[in-house]
């Protein structure tokens, strides 16, 4: 998988890859990461990329020319490039999207800053628009990272242990059961005693019950979908 990030702030994204599981995936050549700065594509001598909104109103918008030239050149050298714009007005990004996009060869994430990106860029180049949650961030860099992290862990070989993929929350319709480690009692709080007895059928059944109660409590929306099917 090739990830390209179009951003004015490469450092925000690059630092994540210095210290994560994804660093190992890059070393194993399962992933490659590259950056494109719209400022390098401006025709004005000051490297200006933003301007006032045509409609008036506060805030600057990234104007079309640098992004058109940049994205055209990416598409020209990599026709399979699939272009994603993170934006609060996109559809909600889910685990299904992460799995589906993990099958692509080349994903391009275009991060806006300021008030946003001129709509004509989006109209011309977007394959998909995604929102990562109902809140507004100061730019597209964090959402791009969130999505690329979720996507890359679905690429074969990126996680050391492929089992960790199939058992986890959102792979199943319920949230994951709580997990515990050693010691059995810590500050008078105990690991559920069933977990310590080694009967795997009983442990699984208890974990399923815990999953259900946790989902019912924290995510009633997921729980009703689950109940409707079971």
For the annotated binding site, the residues are 112, 132-137
Minimum CB distance to ligand ADE, residue 134 (Å): 7
Q: Which CB atom, from 119 or from 162, has the smaller least distance to ligand ADE?
A: 119
Cα within 13 Å of Cα(168), Cβ side = 9
Does 108 bind ligand ADE (CB under 6 A)? Our answer is: no
Query: How far, in Å, CA of 128 to CA of 84, rounded?
Result: 5
Q: Which CB atom, from 92 or from 167, has the smaller least distance to ligand ADE?
A: 92
- Count the Cβ atoms, other than its own, within 10 Å of residue 52: 13
Q: Cite the annotated binding site for S-adenosyl-L-methionine by residue number.
A: 112, 132-137
Cα within 13 Å of Cα(12), Cβ side = 17
Q: Which CB atom, from 38 or from 143, has the smaller least distance to ligand ADE?
A: 143
Minimum CB distance to ligand ADE, residue 148 (Å): 13
Minimum CB distance to ligand ADE, residue 135 (Å): 5
Residues in 133-172 at the binding interface with ligand ADE, rule: CB under 6 A: 133, 135-137, 140, 143
Give every strand in the sheet of 50-52, ordered side by side. Answer: 50-52, 60-62, 116-117
Query: How far, in Å, CA of 66 to CA of 60, rounded?
Result: 15
Query: How far, in Å, CA of 76 to CA of 65, rounded?
Result: 16
Residues in 70-89 at the binding interface with ligand ADE, rule: CB under 6 A: 86-88
What residues line the site for ligand ADE (CB under 6 A)?
A: 86-88, 131-133, 135-137, 140, 143
């Amino acid at each position: 998988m090739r990830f390209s990030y179009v951003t004015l702030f490469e450092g925000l994204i690059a630092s994540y890859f210095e210290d994560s599981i994804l660093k190992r995936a890059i070393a194993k050549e399962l992933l490659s990461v590259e950056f494109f700065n719209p400022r390098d594509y401006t025709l004005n001598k000051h490297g200006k990329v933003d301007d006032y909104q045509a409609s008036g109103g506060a805030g600057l918008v990234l104007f079309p020319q640098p992004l058109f030239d940049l994205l055209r050149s990416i598409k020209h050298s990599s026709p399979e490039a699939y272009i994603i714009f993170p934006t609060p007005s996109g559809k909600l990004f889910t685990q299904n999207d992460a799995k589906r996009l993990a099958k692509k060869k080349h994903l391009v994430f275009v991060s806006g800053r300021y008030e946003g990106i001129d709509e004509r860029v989006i109209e011309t180049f977007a394959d998909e628009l995604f929102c990562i949650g109902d809140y507004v961030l100061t730019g597209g860099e964090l959402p791009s990272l969130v999505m690329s992290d979720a996507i890359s862990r679905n690429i074969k070989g990126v996680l050391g242990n492929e089992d960790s993929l199939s058992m986890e929350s959102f792979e199943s319709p319920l949230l994951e059961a709580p997990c515990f480690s050693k010691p059995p009692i810590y500050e008078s709080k105990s690991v559920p005693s069933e977990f310590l007895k080694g009967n795997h059928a009983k442990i699984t059944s208890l974990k399923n019950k815990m999953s259900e109660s946790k989902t019912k409590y924290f995510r009633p929306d997921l729980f009703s979908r689950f109940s409707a099917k079971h």
